[in-house]
Amino acid sequence: MALLDLFLVVGIIAGVYSLLAIGMNMHWGDTGLLNFAHAAFFAVGAYTSAILTTPTPEAGLLAERTVGFDLPVVVGIVAGTVLAAVLGFVIATTSVRLEGDYLAMVTLSSAELVRLVIHNEAWLTTGAQTLKNIPRPMESTVATLPVSYDVFYFLLVWALVGATYLLFERMSNGPFGRVLHAIRENDDVALALGKDVTQFKLKSFAIGAGVAGLAGTLWAHYVYAISPVMFLPSITFLIWAAVIIGGAGSYAGAIVGAVVIVFLRQVTRFIPGSVPFSDQMSYLRLMLVGVVLVAVLYYRPEGLLGNAERLQAGTSEGE
């Protein structure tokens, strides 16, 4: 594969991960919520869009799925985003009042429940098998252009990353983000100043989940085929690593962190020829992610683009 093609593939994955990290940064970076359900929002976005945009499979095929809508891709993308946001809202409703540790465990468990449903409800999702033939947006139109589809998709994904980044930056720096930051610092103060803390947490959860859903739709329409093993909790943990490495609280950091993580995972693709331990390479790369995450937390707890001064000031106790 030519180097440019490889760059485009990795770039598209990095864009999808960036969206996931932006959503997570709203939860953790802005609001201080321990969300461990990100993989579920990603999955719901992907499956919603896939189911809505593929036709009903013909009976008698291997796939047991009996539902399909054959709608335009854009409908799938919007619906996937919205449904992921709704799921975020629902999960948060049961758990957002809980203390941090409990919230982490409940969200992680909820995400596994979602995956369990996807895995078992084959009539809707093809179950453990692969849901195939997901259409790519504007594929026939792009085919008439002198550029490859990956160029188009790369630009599409990164345009969406850019737009999302701008919107989230504005939210975070505006009065809405101010309330979220106050909640991150101290729930009681926000309450005492008349902020409906639960309501803000629910909104934060839903908005961040929605972006993760958007990432899921983009993923599904790029890879043609999805299956439940793509949405294991390790996705959630990778995104956590991205946000922490990039610097919690910074949206630019979230994007940088996501790019770093994707690069770490994909870097050996760029090394031509055979390398020793090539079988183990993908595992070694994930071990490296672990090492980098711990090293960043130790040497640079604010992350690459985080705000060290805020972190310092934020830890000083009242007298």
**Angle 100-120/38-53 helices, nearest 10 degrees?**
30
Residue 276 interacts with another protein (CB under 8 A): yes or no: no
What's the closest the beta carbon of residue 293 comes to another protein, in angstroms? 4
Q: What are phi and psi of 132, to 5 degrees?
A: -105, 175
Nearest distance from C-beta of residue 254 to another protein, angstroms = 15
Query: In whole angstroms, how close is the CB of 85 to another protein at the nearest point?
Result: 11
Query: Given the rule CB under 8 A, which of 58-66, 76-84, 211-219, 305-313 is the region that contacts another protein?
Result: 305-313
Task: Please state the separation of Cα 171 from the chain's center in Å.
Answer: 18
Q: Give least dist CB 25 to another protein, A.
A: 14
Q: Is 287 one of the binding residues for another protein (CB under 8 A)? A: yes
Task: Please say which residue, 177 or 213, places its beta carbon nearer to another protein.
Answer: 177
Tokens of 306: 């985080």
Q: Which of residues 232-271 bind another protein (CB under 8 A)?
A: 232-234, 237, 240-241, 244
Residue closer to another protein (CB basis): 62 or 193: 193
The Cα angle at residue 112 between residues 107 and 116, in degrees rounded to 5 = 145
Q: Toward another protein, which CB reaches closer, 140 or 298? A: 298
- 71 vs 286 by CB, closer to another protein: 286
Of the two residues 153 and 237, which places its CB atom closer to another protein in the complex? 237
Q: How far is CA 36 from CA 63, 72, 105, 185, 254, in A?
A: 31, 31, 8, 20, 16
Exposure pattern of 183-222 as b/e (b: 16+ CB <10 Å)?
bbeebeebeeeebebeebbbbbbbbbbbbbbbbbbbbbbb
Candidate segments 47-55, 78-86, 101-109, 135-143, binder of another protein by CB under 8 A: 101-109
# residues near another protein by CB under 8 A: 77
Residue 300 touches another protein, criterion: CB under 8 A: no
Q: In the range 176-235, which residues lie near another protein by CB under 8 A?
A: 176-179, 181-182, 184-186, 188-197, 203, 207, 232-234
Within positions 33 to 72, which residues make up the interface with another protein, using CB under 8 A?
34
> Are 3 and 190 a contacting pair, CB within 8 Å?
no
CB of 158 to another protein, least distance (A): 20
Q: Which letter, b or e, does each residue of 280-301 get, where b requires 16 or more Cβ atoms within 10 Å of its Cβ? A: eeeeeeeeebeebbeebeeeee
Instruction: State which of positions 69-98 bind another protein (CB under 8 A).
Output: 94-95, 98
Question: What spatial distance separates the first Cα and last Cα of the chain, rounded to whole Å?
Answer: 62
Q: What share of the chain is helix, strand, coil (3-state, %, to 5)?
A: 70, 0, 25
Report if residue 313 touches another protein, rule: CB under 8 A: yes
Binders of another protein among 126-165, rule CB under 8 A?
Answer: none
**Minimal distance in Å, beta carbon 221 to another protein?**
25
* Contact positions with another protein (CB under 8 A) in 110-129: 110, 112-113, 116, 119-120
- How far is residue 12's CA from residue 59's CA, in Å, rounded to a whole number? 34
Record the tokens describing residue 168, joined without a space: 């989230």
Contacts of 32 (CB under 8 A, 6+ apart): 100, 183, 184, 185
